[in-house]
Amino acid sequence: MKFLFPTFLFALFAIAIPIIIHLFNFRKFKKIYFTNVKFLKEVKQETQSKSKLKHLLVLCTRILAITFLVFAFAQPFIPSENSNAVIGDKVVSVYVDNSFSMQAQSEQGGLFEESRRRAREISDA
């Protein structure tokens, strides 16, 4: 697999942003005084485990979103063995007009077939 724009892969360093936010979670909790401390400790343990799982899933989702976005901008492709479209490190695109005017005949034949032949010559060069 190759990338059309491999310099976008440097943006994968942006994955560190949600990790840093996750590690330095700056939430300030209010202290609420309550008489039944035993009940509160049980509730705290139950909610902590669910909360950690929830935060971990959110972190993984953010990392995957950034990763997929970076790969989308890098435009991965799998080059074929007989591909003539890639010349060195450059991609060559040749557009051929297929409008009604290309149906006219020239000395060598149809204009459309002539332009397709010339496009192949350009991509093979």
Q: Tens digit of pLDDT for each residue in 55-93?
A: 889 999 999 999 999 999 998 888 777 655 554 566 677
Question: Structural domain of residue 90, as residue ranges?
Answer: 80-125
Range 113-124 average pLDDT:
84
Same domain assignment for residues 66 and 39: yes
Same domain assignment for residues 98 and 46: no
Same domain assignment for residues 74 and 84: no
Instruction: Determine contact, residues 37/45, Cβ cutoff 8 Å.
Output: no
Strand partners, 105: 110
Percentage of the chain beyond pLDDT 70 is 74
Same domain assignment for residues 84 and 40: no
User: Cα separation of 109 and 8, whole Å?
Assistant: 45
Residue 74 CB contacts under 8 Å (≥ 6 apart), including other chains: 3, 4, 5, 6, 8, 9
Percentage of the chain beyond pLDDT 90 is 22
Same domain assignment for residues 28 and 69: yes
